[in-house]
Each structure stands twice: as structure tokens, then as C-alpha cells.
Amino acid sequence: MKKIAIIIDDFQLATKIVDAVAYLGGESIFPDQNKNLQWKADLIIVDLDCEKNTGFNQIKKYLKSQADVNIIGCAKRVSKSLRKEAITAGCKMVLTKSSLSRNISSLLMGFNS
């Protein structure tokens, strides 16, 4: 398992992701978005609803510093326009938080290979 950066304000969802990452033998980090990107990750899971998050510009910033990183965006509700904007910004996947929560282990195993 790889290093997973979790940028999510939802404590319950973040805890579920951390547990799944640990179970699969990976490492979870909680980077501070407001600081320089001194950290490296193989996968970033970002909350598109996050108030602290500067949104799609932040995703582009991650990709600029880590071109090979995979990004999964999640939101409470995912509209066609949100999905399109997130994919354009660089997300590999855009899921509802409930779908991410239900399928986190499968998703992590898919990105692990």
C-alpha cells in the first residue's frame, strides 16, 4: 500500500479512510493545504465541499508539484457540472462521500496496483 494524503474535513469519513489505509498496510497523511507542498503522496483524496479548500485551483497546485499523483474528489452531492470541473482540474475520479465511504477499500486496492 502507498502513501495517501487525506484532505477532508468530515471527521467520520476521514477516520474510515485512515482505517482502510492502515488495514491495507499504507500510510495516511493529513497535509496542510496552506503550506508549501513539502509532502509527497501516491493518492490524494480531497473534499470538494471543504470550506478551507480553494477548490479546483488547489487540485491544479497538487498536480503541478506532483504530476504523477492520482486524485479522487468527493462531495456530498456530485452534479454533472461539478464532475466535469473536477475531472478538468485533474481528478481521476469524483464520487459522492457516501459512495467513497462504502467503497474505500476497493478503491484503495485499485490504486495500489
CA quadruple 16, 107, 40, 85: dihedral, nearest 10? -100
What are the residue boundaries of the structural domains of the chain, listed by start?
A: 3-112
- Angle subtended at Cα 67 by Cα 64 and Cα 73, rounded to the nearest 5 degrees: 85
Q: What is the pLDDT of residue 58?
A: 74
Each residue's pLDDT tens digit, 57-111: 778 878 888 888 899 999 999 999 999 989 998 999 999 999 999 999 999 988 7
Q: What is the pLDDT of residue 50?
A: 73
- Name the pTM for this structure: 0.88
Summarize the confidence of residues 18-35 as an average pLDDT: 85
- Count CB neighbours of 54 within 10 A: 12
33, pLDDT greater than 80: no
Let me know how many helices (H) and strands (E) the chain has, helices first.
4, 5
Residue 99 neighbours by CB under 8 Å, 6+ apart: none
Contact 47, 74 (CB under 8 A): yes
Q: What is the pLDDT of residue 61?
A: 79
Q: Which fold has domain 3-112?
A: Rossmann fold (3.40.50)
